[in-house]
């Protein structure tokens, strides 16, 4: 039998899950050695900047001057306060139809609706793409808050006149947050903002590499982030901690999960095999937030699980492990944990979409075929049942 003319070369290799594969170039962030956004260390950004400062850096490539920063904050607030009425009506109708739907589904649908209302600038002039990204940065948190109101059958409250971290926290908790709470929440947004070729960002880049538009790329990214092996892990972390309940049950619970070969959420990482530096940074904030409250019991439990995971599997926490505990300490409901990740990662996604559009080549890898050898077609009348699988 002759080889098909377009077959893979005999020496072709395949890596499951593209682990360790360098799939493209980016100037937005780097994980080599330490995590940096546009060259700035994540430690310095987490300590000294706010979410808008980081989002501006990711999108525009440089730190903003005070004047640029204030204007950027204003533009994001304007987008948040002027959410499209058709979008709000659609979300309200969807909430009436299915109020228990995940807010991740609401965001995915909402971004898609926005894509239909606002005509995408694709292939786009750079400045128009930036403007579109800035609009999404304001619309997404406002949409999340609107959905939470609509799905709880409350009137949709106005967006506050404050920076994004403070406004979103106030909208989602229904009260004015303290400075320490705003600070902790803002730090999670900075740390969630960007992480090079993670699954959702890669999904977004793949979509726009076909010549498609920003809203389509972001819609795909939200779908990818929803999964529990990616952004969905932060909600599962708290579900798991609640299920275990107390320190005395921790050891038996971990043993049971590991012997059943179940993954424990908030541990392990595709890239960081010696621990996620973002988890270390955020982990330090967890205990101080709950000092002197009942929340210390959850921290004791989290410490115990961490020790057990290190002893049993050599695995350390990823960012979702402390982020879930911070969100819980701030009084946020579990179902908004992953949507908050969307709000933050919108900055990274849109920066990557613009980078991909600016230097595009279609993303189209190849596969290693593992199916049947060539065989003759059998007519419908003479077929018998059969099945084939790679696994
Ligand atoms: N709990 C239990 N075991 C885990 C684990 C976890 N959280 N993470 C990895 N492992 C195990 C794997 O099953 C594998 O075991 P094996 O050698 O017996 O097959 C081993 O550790 C090595 O896994 P690795 O190849 O490093 O994982 P990966 O790179 O394919 O997957 C994740 C990375 C993130 C998908 C994986 O660690 C995971 O599912 N974590 C939990 C979900 C999560 O927190 N996601 C957020 C990521 S930021």
pLDDT in tens, 51-82: 999 999 999 999 999 999 999 999 999 999 99
Q: Residues 164, 283: one domain?
A: no
Query: Is residue 183 included in any domain, yes or no?
Result: no
Q: Residues 143, 102: one domain?
A: yes
Establish how many alpha carbons lie within 13 A of residue 142's alpha carbon, considering only the half-sphere containing its beta carbon: 24
**213-229 average pLDDT score:** 97
Secondary structure class of 193 (helix, strand, coil): coil
Query: For residue 389, what pLDDT is reported?
Result: 56
Q: Residues 240, 222: one domain?
A: no
Query: For residue 13, what pLDDT is reported?
Result: 81
Question: Average per-residue pLDDT in the chain?
Answer: 94
Q: What percent of the chain has pLDDT over 90?
A: 90
Cβ contacts of 203 within 8 Å, gap of 6 or more: 217, 220, 221, 223, 224
Q: Are 135 and 143 in contact (CB under 8 A)?
A: no
Query: Is residue 337 included in any domain, yes or no?
Result: no
Query: Is residue 372 included in any domain, yes or no?
Result: no
**229-240 average pLDDT score:** 97
Q: Residues 58, 96: one domain?
A: yes
Q: Ligand 1: which residue has its CA nearest to atom 18? A: 261
- Burial pattern 83-108, b for ≥16 Cβ within 10 A else e, equals bbeebbebbbebbeeeeeebbbbbbb
Query: Is residue 384 included in any domain, yes or no?
Result: no
pLDDT of residue 8 exceeding 70: no
* Residue given tokens 């990740």 in the structure block: 341
Query: For residue 268, what pLDDT is reported?
Result: 97
Q: Ligand 1: which residue has its CA nearest to atom 34? A: 269
Query: For residue 1, what pLDDT is reported?
Result: 40
- Ligand 1 center to residue 159 CA distance, Å? 39
Our answer on whether the CB atom of 268 is closer than 6 Å to any ligand 1 atom is yes
**Which of 262, 263, 315, 322 to mutate for ligand 1's pocket (most ligand atoms within 8 Å of CB)?**
263
Cβ contacts of 128 within 8 Å, gap of 6 or more: 121
- Ligand 1 center to residue 326 CA distance, Å? 23
- Ligand 1 center to residue 325 CA distance, Å? 20
What is the rounded CA–CA span in Å between residue 272 and residue 267?
10
Q: What is the dihedral of CA 182, 77, 145, 201, to 10 degrees?
A: -90
Q: Are 341 and 190 in contact (CB under 8 A)?
A: no
pTM of the model: 0.95
Q: Residues 210, 162: one domain?
A: yes
Query: For residue 99, what pLDDT is reported?
Result: 86
Q: Residues 240, 221: one domain?
A: no
Cβ contacts of 350 within 8 Å, gap of 6 or more: 59, 132, 133, 136, 137, 214, 218
Domain span at residue 204 reads 35-176+196-226+343-358
What is the rounded CA–CA span in Å between residue 114 and residue 91?
11
Query: For residue 130, what pLDDT is reported?
Result: 96
- pLDDT band of 119, cuts 50, 70, 90: confident
Q: Residues 155, 239: one domain?
A: no
Q: For the chain, how big is the Rg over CA atoms in Å?
A: 23
Query: For residue 385, what pLDDT is reported?
Result: 74
Q: Where does 230-294 have alpha helices with state H?
A: 233-244, 250-259, 277-290
Does a cis peptide bond (omega within 30 degrees of 0) precede residue 69?
Answer: no
Establish how many alpha carbons lie within 13 A of residue 290's alpha carbon, considering only the half-sphere containing its beta carbon: 21
What is the rounded CA–CA span in Å between residue 191 and residue 193?
6
pLDDT of residue 123 exceeding 70: no
């Amino acid at each position: 039998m002759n080889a098909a003319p377009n077959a893979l070369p005999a020496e072709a290799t395949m890596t499951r899950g593209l682990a360790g594969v360098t799939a493209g170039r980016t100037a937005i962030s780097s994980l080599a050695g330490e995590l940096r956004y546009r060259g700035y260390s994540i430690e310095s950004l987490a300590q000294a900047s706010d979410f808008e400062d980081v989002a501006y850096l990711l999108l525009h490539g440089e730190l903003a001057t005070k004047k640029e920063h204030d204007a950027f904050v204003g533009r994001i607030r304007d987008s948040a306060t002027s959410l499209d009425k058709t979008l709000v009506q659609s979300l309200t109708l969807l909430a009436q139809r299915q109020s228990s739907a995940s807010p991740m589904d609401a965001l995915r649908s909402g971004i898609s609706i926005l894509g239909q209302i606002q005509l995408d600038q694709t292939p786009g002039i750079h400045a128009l793409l930036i403007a579109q990204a800035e609009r999404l940065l304001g619309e997404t948190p406002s949409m999340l808050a609107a959905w939470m109101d609509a799905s709880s059958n409350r009137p949709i409250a106005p967006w506050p006149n404050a920076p994004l971290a403070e406004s979103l926290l106030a909208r989602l908790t229904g009260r004015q947050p303290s400075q320490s709470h705003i600070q902790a929440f803002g730090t999670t947004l900075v740390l969630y903002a960007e992480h090079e070729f993670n699954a959702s960002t890669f999904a977004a880049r793949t979509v726009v590499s076909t010549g498609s538009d920003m809203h389509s790329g972001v819609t795909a990214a939200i779908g990818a982030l929803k999964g529990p092996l990616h952004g969905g892990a932060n909600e599962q972390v708290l579900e798991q901690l609640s299920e275990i309940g107390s320190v005395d049950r921790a050891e038996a619970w971990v043993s049971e999960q590991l012997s059943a070969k179940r993954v424990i959420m908030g541990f392990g990482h595709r890239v960081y095999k010696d621990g996620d530096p973002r988890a270390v940074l955020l982990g330090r904030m967890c205990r101080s937030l709950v000092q002197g409250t009942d929340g210390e019991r959850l921290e004791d439990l989290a410490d115990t699980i961490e020790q057990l995971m290190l002893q049993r599997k050599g695995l350390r926490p990823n960012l979702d492990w402390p982020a879930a505990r911070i969100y819980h300490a701030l009084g946020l409901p579990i179902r908004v944990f992953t949507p908050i990740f969307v709000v933050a990662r919108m900055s990274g996604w849109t920066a990557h979409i613009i980078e991909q559009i600016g230097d595009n080549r279609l993303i189209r890898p190849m596969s290693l075929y593992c199916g049947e050898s060539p065989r003759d077609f059998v007519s419908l009348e003479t077929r018998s049942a059969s099945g084939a699988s790679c696994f």
